[in-house]
Amino acid sequence: MKNIFGKKDQPITSYEEFWKWFEINEKKFYKIVQEAENVESQFFEVLTEKLQELREGFFFLTGMSDATHAEIIFTADGNVKNIVFVEELVSAAPKIENWIFSAFKPALDINNIGVRMDDYKFDKNNISFYAIDHKYHPDEVDIVAVYHEYKAEDHDLIATGISIFLDNYLGELEYISNIDNLSVSSLEDATEELIPISKLKDFLIWREKEFVEKYEGFRYDSDSDNFQNLSAELENGKKLLAIVDASLLEWDAKASHPWILSIQIPYVGEPETGLPDDATYLYLNDIEDAIMSQLKDTDGYLNVARQTADDSREIYFACREFRKPSKVLDQITKKYSDRTDIDFEIFKDKYWRTFERFHIG
C-alpha cells in the first residue's frame, strides 16, 4: 500500500528539515512565483502549511525581486514574541540559486510608497506628524500621525492605512521597536506644528540614539529589594494573592527595561477560592523557578510581580530586550505542555503602566 500511494510527508520540526523540504521543491516554487500563476494554491497554501508545522506565527510575502531572483520576506506580522524565530529561520536558510530570503519587511524609499484602502490613498503628500512630549515620561516616543483627508467615520480604516504606510516606510522591525504610541488625527485637531512625514525616520533615529546613550549599561540587582504580599477579593468572591517587588516599582530608571513579559499559567483551583492546592502551588513555583534560572535580574530581566487568582498564575518581567525571553518561554512552554498550557506575550511599556494596580497607597 505504501508503494502504491506513497508515504505521507513527516511533519516539519526544525529549521533544517524545513529548508531541506524547500530545496527539494524550490525549482517548482520558483516557476510558480516567476509565472505568477496559481501562486495562492500551489505556493502560499503549501508553504503556509509547512511553516505552521514548524511553529505558529510565521507569515511571508513573495514576488520577483528582479528578472532572475524570487524573494520570500518572512515576517512576524507585528507579534514581538515571534521576531527572534523569524530571524533564526532566515539565518538557517541555505544559499539557493535565484532565491533571496529576508527577515522582516524592509524600509522602502518614501517616494515609492503609495498605500490604497477603499477610497483613500496614503503617501508622503497627505500625511504629517508631530511628537507629544510628556513631562513625567520623557523617554516615551508618542507620535501623532495627521492625515490630511481624515474623516471621523472612517477612523479605523484610516488608522490601518497609516500603520501599513509606516510599516513600509520605516521597515517592520524599526516600526515595532521605535514607536511607543501612535495615534491618528485630523488637520483641525492637531495641537502642534506639523512636520512632513518624510522627516519621521530621522526623528526616530535621533530619539533612539538619545535613549541608548541615556540607559546604556544599566543593570539591576534585586537581592536587597523589599517584596510585599498583597491580597484582595475579586468581584466573583474568589481570592487574589500577589507578590510584588515594591522597590522596583519605585525605581526611577524603569524605561531602561521597556519590554514587558507577561506569562499566564492556567491551573485547576479550589472551587471556592480559585487558588491552587498545595501540590499545584509547588508545581507553579517550579515553573517560575525554571524561568527565573534563565532570566536573571543582573542580565536585564526583572521579576516585578506575580499574582495568583481565579485558576491562573500570572508572572511579570520587565526586560531590556525581547529575544531571549521569547526563546526561554518557548522552551518552558514545551517542557511543561503535558500538564498545562502556558501562554505568554511581550509588549513595550516603558513606564510600567502594567503594574500600576500593584501600587499601595
**Residues 189-248: pLDDT tens digits?**
999 999 999 999 999 999 999 999 999 877 888 989 999 999 999 999 999 999 999 999
Q: What is the pLDDT of residue 217?
A: 75
Is the pLDDT assigned to residue 268 strictly greater than 90? Answer: yes
Please state the rounded mean pLDDT for residues 42-60: 95
- The CA distance from 22 to 174, in Å, is 29
* All cell numbers assigned to 341: 498550557
pLDDT at 360 over 70: no
* pTM for the whole structure: 0.91
Mean pLDDT of the chain: 94
CA distance 303 to 273: 25
What one-character DSSP code corresponds to residue 98?
Answer: T
- The Cα–Cα gap between 221 and 267 comes to 31
Mean pLDDT over 297-302 rounds to 95
pLDDT digits (tens, 9 = 90+) for 168-188: 999 999 999 999 999 999 999
Residue-level pLDDT at 220: 86
> What is the model's pLDDT at position 2?
40
Give the model confidence (pLDDT) of 83-111 as tens digits: 999 999 999 999 999 999 999 999 999 99
pLDDT at residue number 361: 55
pLDDT at 359: 79
- Using the predicted structure, report yes or no on whether residue 8 has a pLDDT greater than 90: no
Please tell me the distance from the alpha carbon of residue 240 to that of residue 260, in angstroms, as a whole number.
21
3-state secondary structure of 208: helix
Percent of the chain scored above 90 by pLDDT?
A: 92
Radius of gyration, CA atoms only, the chain:
24
DSSP 26-53: HHHHHHHHHHTSSHIIIIIHHHHHHHHH
d(CA 14, CA 352): 36
What residues are paired with 301 via a beta bridge?
319
